[in-house]
Amino acid sequence: MVSSAPALRDRFGRTADYLRLSVTDRCDLRCTYCMAEDMTFLPRNEVLSFEELYRLCLIFLRHGVRKIRVTGGEPLARRNIMALFGLLAPHLRTGDLDEVTLTTNGTQLSRHAAALFAAGVRRVNVSLDTRDGARYAAITRRGRIEKVLAGIEAALSAGLKIKINAVAMQGGFETEVDDLIRFAHGQGMDLTLIEEMPLGDVSHDRRASHLSLTDLRQRLSRRWTMTPLPDRTGGPARYMRVAETGGRLGFITPLSCDFCAGCTRLRVSATGELFTCMGEEGSVGLRDVLRSGGSDQVLAARILDAVSRKPKGHAFRISSSGVAGIARPMSYLGG
């Protein structure tokens, strides 16, 4: 798809080439840092169809997007989700897209892994904060860790490269992080640690649960030999090589270390709202144009205008005096 269309560039000189596309706000888990236990999900008629999502993808491709990550909620919970990957697959074969990736909780990965690989997906992020079954059930409020471990095994067998994402919180996580490192690296998987982000109304005080990864990294360096790496995968993670395992350990630090200067990401919700920053409330609606017969040119103009006004950085803050966050739950955009 050779195009002379203008790039998605903001006023700070950043060019967006990475789209995170949410396909649903629904999830089969209720992770404590992500959503409330009793959730009210979007009416289905407000969620974009696969054809509408694909049309938006084509517009973003014309304006320079090279990577699409499919997110949720839990994307594999959406019925017939493989239809969307099928629509995107030809653009991987022609080189219009560098990659299509997926972030999942892993509970349904075992039945989709082979089909994902066949559709051209080569990398998948799986959320897993513990390997202890009881603690996993407590964090997710309803999950069975066996399903996730089976999904990881199926994905590796299908040829997918797996990165484990783990949200770092005060408490049990600090005693388990070493086990997660050994587990991930022992199977050739990267592990990325993520600071809890103040998104949505959850059941605990984020001031008490916040764990600074800057502090945790210092403690880990007393037990592991870690060397900084220049590697980038399109996201905000900064990687270290762990000498004892040979594996990569990533750190995503939205609160203890600002990562906004190099942001190349845009997010579209399942309802067609374009968010140029996860850490800001503002969005631009695209669904009304899609459903009122508006042209691709009108959609592109709205997208370009929104990107031009992308904020310099997010508004997240956690301190002893309070929390500055966003009312929107993490599940709405998939983090």
Q: State yes or no: 34 annotated in a binding site.
A: yes
Q: Is 56 annotated as a binding residue?
A: no
136 has binding-site annotation:
no
257 is in an annotated binding site: no
239 labelled binding-site residue: no
| Amino acid residing at 29 | L
DSSP state of 312: S
Sign of CA pseudo-dihedral 84, 90, 94, 100: positive
Neighbours of 126 (CB within 10 A): 24
Closest CA to 113 of 162, 73, 67: 162
Residue owning tokens 């996730």: 148
d(CA 19, CA 49) in angstroms, rounded, equals: 17
- Round to whole Å and give the CA distance between 145 and 131: 7
Q: At what angle do helices 82-94 and 50-62 cross, to 10 degrees?
A: 20
Q: Is 73 annotated as a binding residue?
A: yes
Phi-psi region of 74 (alpha: psi -120 to 50; beta: other; left: phi over 0): beta
Which helix (DSSP H) or strand (DSSP E) does residue 84 occupy?
helix 82-94
Q: Is 332 annotated as a binding residue?
A: no
27 labelled binding-site residue: yes
Question: What is residue 283's three-state secondary structure?
Answer: coil
33 belongs to an annotated ligand binding site = yes
Q: Is 11 part of any known ligand binding site? A: no
291 is in an annotated binding site: no
What DSSP designation does 103 have?
E
Nearest of 19, 9, 52, 59 to residue 235 by alpha carbon = 19
The residue with tokens 């502090």 is 215
| Single-letter amino acid code for the residue at 114 | A
Query: For residue 165, is it left (φ>0), alpha (ψ between -120 and 50) or beta?
Result: beta
Binding residues for [4Fe-4S] cluster: 27, 31, 34, 260, 263, 277
Task: List binding-site positions for GTP.
Answer: 20, 69, 103, 163, 265-267
Q: Which residues are annotated as a binding site?
A: 20, 27, 31, 33-34, 69, 73, 103, 127, 163, 197, 260, 263, 265-267, 277
Q: Point out the annotated binding site for S-adenosyl-L-methionine.
A: 33, 73, 127, 197
